[in-house]
Structure 1
Amino acid sequence: MTYATDRLSPDKVKLGVCCTLWWNDDFPTIDAGISFDQAVSDMALAGFQGCSIGHKYPSDATELMAALNLRGLRVSEPWTSTYFTINNMRQKTIAAFEETLAHIKALGGTELVVAEFGASSHLLPVDVFANRPVFTDSQWDALTSGLDELGKIACSAGMKLSYHHHMGTGVMTRADIDRLMASTDPDLVHLLLDTGHMAFAGDDPLDLARAYADRIGHVHLKSIRPEVVRRVREEGRTFQESIELGVFTVPGDGAIDFRPILEVLATAQYEGWLVVEAEQDPNKAIPLEYAKKARAYLADVLGW
């Protein structure tokens, strides 16, 4: 098969890496004691151009910019959780989003990533599949209208908003994503394609990429280990246990073939971030080793 990944050139896409290789922001006990300075140095050493923001990062924008500039890194995205589907949280969600927007703008970033965590099971000590929320029509209306409002705020600030589908949430499966995409303004709300979360949920990330190629605004590249997915389903494991068991890994490892996915993005003339991500236990998976493995794989696929 001939691939067109040469069209995903360095002048069109940037390669980033999430700090979840070094520690976990959702579950602070998944940590090997790696400092912020070591993590961002590893990112630069592995050959990445940018990174997500995590809880160990300096909160002061000037201090953070200095540390990243020293290593030739940029911020690929911040994360903001939304809570439109639960009571009395709309204005608080919007206020938190605006605070994040101001911070990322001060850092020179242009991307904003959100996910709805109202009633999510992913942080709870429960079966991540059996207990994820299923939204009512009124909750869907609250979510999609809220996302459109956040999209307007982002656009007015010259920023782009992308929605992150996520395990254990009300927007987890392909059917959920289809409904969200159909119910939001395509000029305001883009899709964050997360290959690992889509495959873990039981759907095909390649089909998702094909369906929404022109609406993808941000990309998280991570793979899965199918034997761990099966165990999680059969044993009713939590999301935290899934991570600790090694359900996710980086491109170049695991079961997902990223070449056709990147071909779809190339054909759609995607421009933006390709961000390597794998929530792993750094006590078991040496972060720099896996970051370099992912970067070498992408170099082989992309040609740079």
Structure 2
Amino acid sequence: MSAPRTGAPVLDRLRVGSAPDSWGVWFPEDEQQVHWRRFLDEVAEAGYEWIELGPYGYLPTDPDVLREETARRGLRVSAGTVFTSLHHGPAVWDATWAHVAQVAALARAMDATHLVVIPSFWRDDKTARELEPRELTVEQWRHQATGMERLARQVREEYGLDIVVHPHADTHIDTEENVTRLLDATDPDLVRLCLDTGHYAYCGGDSVKLIRTYGERIGYLHLKQVDPRILEDVHANGTPFGPAVRQGVMCEPPRGVPELPPVLHAAQELGVDLFAIVEQDMYPCPADQPFPIADRTRRFLRSCGA
């Protein structure tokens, strides 16, 4: 276990973890993904204490089973994850809530505190086919904002969890302009962000600037980097997110951008406890690839004081 480098501040407000995503897991079931037991074994061996649930159904959905499997490895759950299309308005609410309730119930049973909410993709992440226009209408923005507030309120009331909205490549909440538009249109007590440093950089955003400008709205972190050389090619060719990941656009820290120490220090300066969950999108990947990366990444973060 590596210690912080000499002079590195102790980032004691950050609770570092990892997620199935860092093991190449994008789907509940997929023959190209590692078995969930291997993920749990390796994430614990790499030195992480916190994990996310990942796609609902990847990890056991029976709370008793999952509690036993995580506890004997010294792991705890920070959050579940859901995808939503709330910009489509009240017509999608019932279907949205049915899925959210399922994930939230398991997250709550595991003593998690957050639900990561990712907007739906505007284009297919494999084929690049446009599923809907890239830009939302004024009415759709209104639905997005009111829907997120409604979701936050109901999740908090029924499950005691806080939602954190995850800006994501190839979704309508991506760039600085769209992220700040959502924040400015929603109640700060209800809607906060899961700032994914890699996705925000992918979409041209500055994570340190966002933390310092909207610090009270940062409720959760995903730690990730992008390879600027590959990103330039992705943007030049209009490559959709899935193929971009297969090109290696999301890379192992500290090989990419943004530099993580300034982000970690800015988050520490907020003076609140924050989960900082490592995610390195790399679906699909060989089964032996994730663990060495996860191990090196944990050592790197320790050297930064986290």
TM over 0.5: yes
Match of 1:153 in 2: 154
- Does residue 45 in structure 1 map to residue 48 in structure 2? no
Q: The residue matched to 2:304 in structure 1 has which SS?
A: helix
Sequence identity (%): 27
Q: Which has the higher mean CA deviation after the structures are superposed, 132-141 or 170-179?
A: 132-141
CA–CA separation in structure 1 for the residues paired with 2:104 and 2:28? 24
After superposition, what is the alpha-carbon deviation per residue over 1:163-192, rounded to whole angstroms, capped at 9, x for unaligned?
A: 000000111101000100001110011111
Deviation at 1:150, TM superposition (A): 1.2
In 1, are the aligned partners of 2:166 and 2:194 still within 8 Å (CA)? yes
SS at match of 1:264: helix
1:110 corresponding residue in structure 2:
113
Q: Alpha carbons of 1:228 and 1:84: their partners in 2 closer, same or farther (altered >3 Å)? A: same
CA distance in 1, matches of 2:229, 2:204: 13
Q: Does 1:92 align with 2:67?
A: no
Query: 2 CA distance for matches of 1:253 and 1:284?
Result: 22
The whole-number CA distance in structure 2 between the counterparts of 1:141 and 1:285 is: 45
Q: Which amino acid aligns with 1:89?
A: V
CA contact (8 A) 2:125 2:241 kept: yes
| 1:70 aligned partner | 72
Which secondary structure state, in structure 2, belongs to the residue aligned with residue 162 of structure 1? strand
Amino acid of the residue matched to residue 243 of structure 2? E
State the match for 2:302 in structure 1: 299
After TM superposition, the structure 1 stretch with the greater mean CA deviation from structure 2, 119-128 or 267-276, is 119-128
Superposition pairs for residues 165-180 of structure 1, below 5 Å? 165-180=167-182
User: Do the aligned residues in 1 keep the contact of 2:128 with 2:239 (CA within 8 Å)?
Assistant: yes
Shift of 1:96: 2.0
Alignment of 1:195-274 (within 5 A): 195-274=197-276
2:32 aligned with 1:20: no
Conservation of the 8 A alpha-carbon contact between 1:173 and 1:198: yes
Whole-Å Cα distance in 1 between the matches of residues 28 and 61 of structure 2? 19
The letter for the 2-side match of 1:294 is: T
Query: What is the DSSP-based 3-state SS (H/G/I as helix, E as strand, rest coil) of the residue aligned with 1:89?
Result: helix
CA contact (8 A) 2:194 2:221 kept: yes
The letter for the 2-side match of 1:222 is K
- Partners of 2:22 and 2:278 within 8 A in 1: no
Query: Residues 28 and 251 from structure 1, CA distance in 2 versus in 1: closer, same or farther, beyond 3 angstroms?
Result: farther
What does the per-residue CA deviation read over 1:73-126, in whole Å, with 9 as the maximum and x for residues that have no partner? 111211111111226212221232222211111111111110221x52153511
Comparing 234-243 and 141-150, the one that deviates more:
234-243
Q: What is the aligned partner in structure 2 of residue 54 from structure 1?
A: 54
Q: Which residue is 2:3 aligned to?
A: none
Alignment-derived partner of residue 144 in structure 1: 145
Distance change >3 Å, CA 267–CA 158, structure 1 → 2: same
Distance 1:167 1:122, change over 3 A: farther
| Preserved CA contact (<8 Å) 1:3 1:259 | no
The whole-number CA distance in structure 1 between the counterparts of 2:184 and 2:135 is 17
TM-aligned CA deviation for residue 279 of structure 1? 0.5
Opposite residue 219 of structure 1, the aligned amino acid is: L
Corresponding residue number in structure 2 for 1:288: 291
Match for residue 192 of structure 1?
194
Root-mean-square deviation (CA, aligned residues, Å) is: 2.4
| More off after superposition, 251-260 vs 180-189 | 251-260
Give the CA deviation at 1:4: 8.0
Are 2:25 and 2:33, in contact at CA under 8 Å, matched by a contact in 1? no
Contact 2:87/2:147, CA 8 A, preserved across alignment: no
TM-score, normalised on structure 1? Answer: 0.90
Distance 2:28 2:285 in 1: 12
Unaligned runs of 5+ in 2: 1-5
Match of 2:278 in 1: 276
1:202–1:57 CA distance, 2 compared to 1 (3 A)? same
**Are the aligned partners of 1:50 and 1:76 in contact in 2 as well (CA < 8 Å)?**
yes
Conservation of the 8 A alpha-carbon contact between 1:4 and 1:263 = no
